[in-house]
Structure 1
Amino acid sequence: MFRLLVLGSVFCIVFGQKPHPCESPKQFEGRFNVFDPDKHVYVIGRMFYDDTGRRFREIEEVDIRGGRDYYDRLYLHNLNLEYSLNLKTRKCNVTTLTRPFVPMAVPLDARYLTSVTIGASGLPDEHLSLHIFDGKTKEGNPYFIHVTAEACLPTQVFFESPQTGRIQRNIYDVTLGLRDPDAFIPPRECVTV
Structure 2
Amino acid sequence: MDVVLALLVTLTAVLAQEPKPCESPKQFESRLVTVDPSKQFIRFAYVSYDGVDRRVREEVEIEEGGKKQFYDFFYLHNIGVEYKVNLLTKQCNKTALTRPFIPWHVPSDAKFQWEGNIGPVTGEHVTLVQFTGKFEENFYAMTVTSPDCVMIRMDFYSNRTGFVQSDFYDMTLGIHDPSHFIPPPECPP
Determine the structure 1 residue equivalent to 2:95: 95
Cα shift at 1:160: 2.1
Cα distance in 1 between the residues matched to 2:2 and 2:160: 58
Which stretch shifts more, 58-67 or 158-167? 158-167
Which letter does structure 1 place at the counterpart of 2:152?
Answer: T
Determine the structure 1 residue equivalent to 2:127: 129
Which letter does structure 2 place at the counterpart of 1:53?
Answer: D
Cα distance in 1 between the residues matched to 2:126 and 2:89: 41
Q: Deviations over 1:15-34 (max 9, x none)?
A: 21110011111111111000
Q: Deviations over 1:16-64 (max 9, x none)?
A: 1110011111111111000111211111110000111010011011111
Quickly say closer, same or farther: Cα 1:158–1:104, change in 2 above 3 A. Answer: same
Cα shift at 1:163: 3.8
1:115 touches 1:131 (CA, 8 Å); kept in 2? yes
What is the TM-score of this pair, normalised by structure 2? 0.91
Determine the structure 2 residue equivalent to 1:184: 181
RMSD: 1.9
Cα distance in 1 between the residues matched to 2:50 and 2:160: 21
Determine the structure 2 residue equivalent to 1:167: 164
Quickly say closer, same or farther: Cα 1:100–1:7, change in 2 above 3 A. Answer: same
1:41 touches 1:64 (CA, 8 Å); kept in 2? yes
Cα shift at 1:4: 7.5
Cα shift at 1:10: 4.8
Cα shift at 1:120: 2.5
- 1:106 pairs with 2:106: yes
Cα distance in 2 between the residues matched to 1:85 and 1:186: 9
Pairing 1:34-53 to 2, within 5 Å after superposition: 34-53=34-53
Which stretch shifts more, 107-116 or 12-21? 12-21
Determine the structure 1 residue equivalent to 2:27: 27
Regions of 4+ moved over 6 Å: 1-7
Which letter does structure 1 place at the counterpart of 2:93?
Answer: N
Cα shift at 1:7: 6.3
Give unpaired runs (5+ residues) of structure 1. Answer: none
Cα distance in 2 between the residues matched to 1:121 and 1:72: 40
- How many residues align? The count is 189
- 1:140 pairs with 2:140: no
Cα shift at 1:89: 1.0
Identity of matched residues, %:
43
Determine the structure 1 residue equivalent to 2:61: 61
1:59 touches 1:71 (CA, 8 Å); kept in 2? yes
What is the TM-score of this pair, normalised by structure 1? 0.90
1:98 touches 1:163 (CA, 8 Å); kept in 2? no
